[in-house]
Amino acid sequence: MAVILHVNYIPTDAQNAIPFADRQASAERINQLDGFRWKFWVSNADANERGGVYLFDDEASARAWGENARARLTAAGGREVSIRVFNIDPELSRINQAPIAD
């Protein structure tokens, strides 16, 4: 069953200054992850928070990427890195036009 991975962190100034081309390359690499379906890149400039909301085919794939993301973000100086995995209720989600399929 598909799951949501939510990653959130407080970036350093250097992380905030990463050029678009580097972020684009990262986005393209993410497309190659096992079990990956899609990602929303999210940020809140007022709170200096960044992260992503991902859809994965299964919990194992989501957790594997979440731990990889935690290690990379922390090594680069990111603080308060939060990795959370959620199950999806597909029937109710479809009623609200969620972009999911079985």
Q: For residue 101, is it within any domain?
A: no
Q: For residue 49, is it within any domain?
A: yes
For residue 83, what pLDDT is reported? 98
pTM metric for this prediction: 0.90
For residue 99, what pLDDT is reported? 81
CATH number, domain with residue 71: 3.30.70.100
Radius of gyration, alpha carbons of the chain: 14
For residue 102, what pLDDT is reported? 57
Q: For residue 93, is it within any domain?
A: no
Q: Burial of 56 by CB count in 10 Å (0-12 exposed, 13-18 middle, 19+ buried)?
A: buried
Q: For residue 100, is it within any domain?
A: no
Mean local confidence (pLDDT), 38-58: 96
Q: For residue 30, is it within any domain?
A: yes
From CA 31, how far away is CA 36, in angstroms rounded?
Answer: 7
3-state secondary structure of 61: helix
Can you list the positions of beta strands (E) in the chain?
3-10, 36-44, 49-56, 79-87
pLDDT digits (tens, 9 = 90+) for 53-96: 999 999 999 999 999 999 999 999 999 999 999 999 988 998 99
Q: For residue 62, is it within any domain?
A: yes
Instruction: Determine the structural domain holding residue 31 and report its residue range.
Output: 3-88
Whether the predicted pLDDT of 19 surpasses 90: yes
3-state secondary structure of 59: helix
Q: For residue 94, is it within any domain?
A: no
For residue 1, what pLDDT is reported? 82
For residue 4, what pLDDT is reported? 97
